[in-house]
Amino acid sequence: MPRSLSHGARIDYDTVAAGYDSQPYRQKEVDAALLAYLERIPAHKWPLLRVLDISCGTGNQLVADKAAITGPSWVGSDLFYGMLAQAQAKDKNISWVQADACGMPFVCNSFDFISQQFGFHHIGPRSMMLREVYRLLRPGGCFVMTNIAPQEMRQALLYRYFPEALDVDLSDFVSPDTLVAMMKDAGFSAVELSLDRRVSQVDLQDFLKKVQPRDNNSTLMIISDMAYADGVARMKRDIGRGVGLHVPTETCILTLSGEKND
């Protein structure tokens, strides 16, 4: 199973890289946290800044940032070559570097702003990654992590149809409170956590398209074949029975930031 990949990764992203961007929700707007960081820096100093996106995947965040912001140098790193190949095809003037987030080939104090989006649950020794990010930040620099918080979204449609997925995610996603403690242990100051909870209604037919093919969602690739088949069959039965247009679901997006003292 994917959990036994030799490099310890949760799933093999080389196998999904080519289709990763097919879902519209993979596209990115310019990073609001980066804009907020830049507001604190005089614009004439922006060309001295270095921005790193860890677990950058197919590069969408950095490509959106670079199109909107002139000045900084941009670096994206990811463990999987297939993801970086997709990124490289979008912009050859961004440095795309293959590296495990727990040990990156950069000298100490080399980045002003580091982000990681929807990647932390894939990392092996997580406290090691946080210490590595702290090492790479310049004094005064800022790290911002974004992810879902499964602990706060147990009524999500995904988990109602695939209960095994909730078990997997609760074990792979560190709880928000623990994350804050881990950031402080790694040396970060001004640690801030925000949770953005949203309840919405979705069309079950559209939701079915999100879970098929299965590799649209990394957690669905980890649960048992039986649990996946059972969830899809129940969803199809419900659609057949006319359940469907306004089905409630919930999400919770976690944003965690911290700074390295001057």
Residue 119 as a binder of ligand SAM (CB under 6 A): the answer is yes
> Which of 38, 49, 51, 56 contacts ligand SAM by CB under 6 A?
56
Cβ distance to ligand SAM smaller for residue 126 or 260: 126
Q: What is the DSSP letter of 91?
A: -
> Which of 34, 50, 55, 254 contacts ligand SAM by CB under 6 A?
55
Cβ distance to ligand SAM smaller for residue 83 or 182: 83
Detail the DSSP E strand segments found in the chain. 50-54, 73-78, 95-98, 111-117, 137-148, 189-202, 247-259
Question: Distance between CA 71 and CA 88 in Å, rounded?
Answer: 20
**In whole angstroms, how close is the CB of 155 to ligand SAM at the nearest point?**
22
Residue 216 as a binder of ligand SAM (CB under 6 A): the answer is no
Question: Distance between CA 242 and CA 222 in Å, rounded?
Answer: 30
**In whole angstroms, how close is the CB of 151 to ligand SAM at the nearest point?**
18
Residue 219 as a binder of ligand SAM (CB under 6 A): the answer is no
Give the distance, in angstroms, between the CA of residue 164 and the centroid of all CA atoms in the same chain.
21
**In whole angstroms, how close is the CB of 127 to ligand SAM at the nearest point?**
14
Q: Buried b vs exposed e over 211-248: b needs ≥16 C-beta within 10 Å?
A: beebebbbbbbbbeeebbebbbeebeeebeeeebeebe
**In whole angstroms, how close is the CB of 119 to ligand SAM at the nearest point?**
4
Residue 203 identity (one-letter amino acid): D
Q: List the structure tokens of 175.
A: 């709880």
> Which of 38, 49, 87, 101 contacts ligand SAM by CB under 6 A?
101
**In whole angstroms, how close is the CB of 56 to ligand SAM at the nearest point?**
6
| Contact indicator for 165, 158 with CB cutoff of 8 Å | yes
Residue 241 identity (one-letter amino acid): R
- Give the position of tokens 């709880």: 175
Q: What is the DSSP letter of 18?
A: G
- Mask of contacts with ligand SAM, 2-31, x by CB under 6 A? -------x---x------------x-----
- Mask of contacts with ligand SAM, 222-261, x by CB under 6 A? ----------------------------------------
Phi, psi angle pair for 38, to nearest 5°: -65, -30
CA proximity to 30, closest of 63, 73, 77, 76 = 63
Q: Which residue is nearest to ligand SAM (CB)?
A: 57
Residue 100 as a binder of ligand SAM (CB under 6 A): the answer is yes
**In whole angstroms, how close is the CB of 239 to ligand SAM at the nearest point?**
27
- Three-class DSSP category at 45: helix
Residue 80 as a binder of ligand SAM (CB under 6 A): the answer is yes
Question: Distance between CA 143 and CA 137 in Å, rounded?
Answer: 8
Cβ distance to ligand SAM smaller for residue 100 or 152: 100
Binding-site ranges for ligand SAM (CB under 6 A): 9, 13, 26, 55-57, 60, 78-80, 83, 100-101, 117-119, 122-123, 218
